Copies of this chain bind each other. A is one copy, B any other.
Amino acid sequence: MEEVKIYLSEAEMPRRWYNIVADMPNKPAPPRHPATGEPVPPEAFSAIFPMNIIEQEISAEREIAIPEEVLSFYRMYRPTPLIRAFRFEKALKTPAKIFYKYEGASPAGSHKLNSAIAQVYYNKQAGTKRITTETGAGQWGSALAMACNFFGLECVVYMVRVSYNQKPYRRIVMETFGAKVHASPSNNTKAGRDALAKDPNSNGSLGLAISEAVEDTVTSKDTKYSLGSVLNHVCLHQTVIGQEAKLQLAKAGLYPDVVVGCVGGGSNFSGLSFPFVRDKIYGKQVRAVACEPTSCPTLTRGLYKYDFGDSVGMTPLMLMYTLGHGFMPPGIHAGGLRYHGDAPLLSQLVNEKLLEAVAVDQLPVFQAAELFARSEGIIPAPESAHALAGAVVEADKARQEGKERVILIGLSGHGFLDLAAYDDYHQGKLKNFPLPQEEIDKALHELPPIPANK
């Protein structure tokens, strides 16, 4: 009987991260200074990131060895299983073979831990004693709190106040791992105090939480800042996912026809797809499809331009698909996908037609999620469910064409802490958010007017 789950032994775990920069047809575009438009030198980031991470951020080495100590933590939950979705296939009446790479069984409940462990390790090597970050829904904050606890570093999380109040469970997870969680705006920083002075009941925003975390970093001793997606080194750390999946499929004598994942900042899908995109660059037939929400359609309706990475305009400019840093997406439940831009590496590959992108509506996302839960028993995170909605389309295409395609889904996390979203879905409270073009045009109007953007 065919096995449902394909496991790798710990000895088969990848020993190197894969850096797609080495194989990309064109070099990545450098970050640029907002005022001058000039490329920003790596050292400019040293106030907030340690140099060893900055070196990784700009590296063009194809393979980067994973330090032994990072591997020893990966071994707590990696290799993650690749699971054949027999019952989901049956429910979809598709001849396709559907596999999902499940990162939700990691202790932090998502793929985020892959980069959190690596980032905390490098920070510790560089002498950092304390790490700040911001978190919205809390997936990244949980992973970083856990990793800091493993390595004995302090972790300070600025959590958007509305999430802090509405999603106490994520806060409790972070606190259980010893992190200090501040509702943002807080009284810890000037940015926070200013916001509170204007509105003592401010709900906060991710942009403001970033400002607070960065201010805390540059004004505190032995403190660095950490980001859970978007940047090159974060995408790099996630490539353990795709490397494992490739090996697992190979054990079943298979190679995917299409690789499907959800995209917010892009690290999860980068990690899953890059090892396959590498093959594609060298001529292999494989499609990789990024699934984003129609309510935040950066890759499908945004522009490939230089823009700020944050929403308040503090960071250098990055070349990426963006809806404009002032874009405020509607309040969908997949909070992790509400980012106005996308990872520059992933954006460039989309621009060069090495990756495809589709946008999916909130209702079909939850339909796919519930069908998947009832078939496979796993309640997916709303973010991850976007990949399922994308896979449903591919499975349907395979059915119509009568093709026995191999579909590989990245299932990045579980939904145990997102159950309120499912409740809203059952009660008919969820809706789609079709975005009028005027709204997108208005946000795009704010793109920084540097020469490279002309």
CB within 8 Å of B: which residues of A? 1, 3-5, 7, 9-11, 75-77, 87, 105-109, 146, 149-150, 168-169, 172-173, 175-178, 370, 373-374, 376-379, 414, 416-417, 419-420, 422-423, 426
Distance (whole angstroms) from the CB of A253 to the closest CB of chain B: 17
Pairwise interchain contact B76-A4, C-beta atoms closer than 8 A: yes
The residue that A422 contacts in the complex, of B146, B172, B178, with Cβ under 8 A, is B172
The residue that A169 contacts in the complex, of B3, B76, B416, with Cβ under 8 A, is B416
Pairwise interchain contact A7-B4, C-beta atoms closer than 8 A: no
Between-chain CB contacts (< 8 Å), 27 pairs = A3-B9, A3-B10, A4-B10, A7-B7, A77-B377, A105-B105, A107-B377, A108-B377, A109-B416, A146-B377, A150-B377, A168-B419, A168-B423, A169-B416, A169-B419, A169-B420, A172-B419, A172-B422, A172-B423, A175-B422, A176-B370, A176-B374, A176-B379, A177-B373, A178-B374, A416-B416, A416-B417
What's the Cα separation between A280 and B247 when bound, in Å? Answer: 43
Pairwise interchain contact A175-B75, C-beta atoms closer than 8 A: no
Pairwise interchain contact A420-B4, C-beta atoms closer than 8 A: no
Distance (whole angstroms) from the CB of A373 to the closest CB of chain B: 6
Distance (whole angstroms) from the CB of A11 to the closest CB of chain B: 7
Pairwise interchain contact A426-B107, C-beta atoms closer than 8 A: no
In the complex, what residue of chain B is closest to A5 when comparing beta carbons? B10
Distance (whole angstroms) from the CB of A428 to the closest CB of chain B: 13
What's the Cα separation between A173 and B169 when bound, in Å? Answer: 16
Besides A76-B376, A173-B379, 11 new A-B residue pairs in contact (Cβ under 8 A), listed by A number: A1-B11, A4-B10, A4-B76, A77-B377, A168-B420, A172-B420, A175-B423, A176-B374, A177-B373, A178-B374, A414-B416
Pairwise interchain contact B168-A376, C-beta atoms closer than 8 A: no
Chain B residues positioned under 8 Å from A106 (CB to CB): 377
Chain B residues positioned under 8 Å from A149 (CB to CB): 374
What's the Cα separation between A108 and B4 when bound, in Å? Answer: 18
What's the Cα separation between A370 and B420 when bound, in Å? Answer: 26
The residue that A176 contacts in the complex, of B105, B108, B373, with Cβ under 8 A, is B373
What's the Cα separation between A377 and B75 when bound, in Å? Answer: 12
Chain B residues positioned under 8 Å from A373 (CB to CB): 176-177
Distance (whole angstroms) from the CB of A13 to the closest CB of chain B: 10
Chain B residues positioned under 8 Å from A105 (CB to CB): 105
The residue that A374 contacts in the complex, of B1, B5, B177, with Cβ under 8 A, is B177
Q: Which 3 A-B pairs have the closest CB atoms?
A: A107-B377, A416-B416, A172-B419
Distance (whole angstroms) from the CB of A104 to the closest CB of chain B: 9
In the complex, what residue of chain B is closest to A106 when comparing beta carbons? B377
Distance (whole angstroms) from the CB of A170 to the closest CB of chain B: 9
Pairwise interchain contact B377-A76, C-beta atoms closer than 8 A: yes
Distance (whole angstroms) from the CB of A96 to the closest CB of chain B: 19
What's the Cα separation between A107 and B10 when bound, in Å? Answer: 23
In the complex, what residue of chain B is closest to A9 when comparing beta carbons? B3
Chain B residues positioned under 8 Å from A178 (CB to CB): 374
Chain B residues positioned under 8 Å from A177 (CB to CB): 373-374
The residue that A426 contacts in the complex, of B3, B10, B175, with Cβ under 8 A, is B175
What's the Cα separation between A262 and B416 when bound, in Å? Answer: 23
Distance (whole angstroms) from the CB of A381 to the closest CB of chain B: 12
In the complex, what residue of chain B is closest to A373 when comparing beta carbons? B176
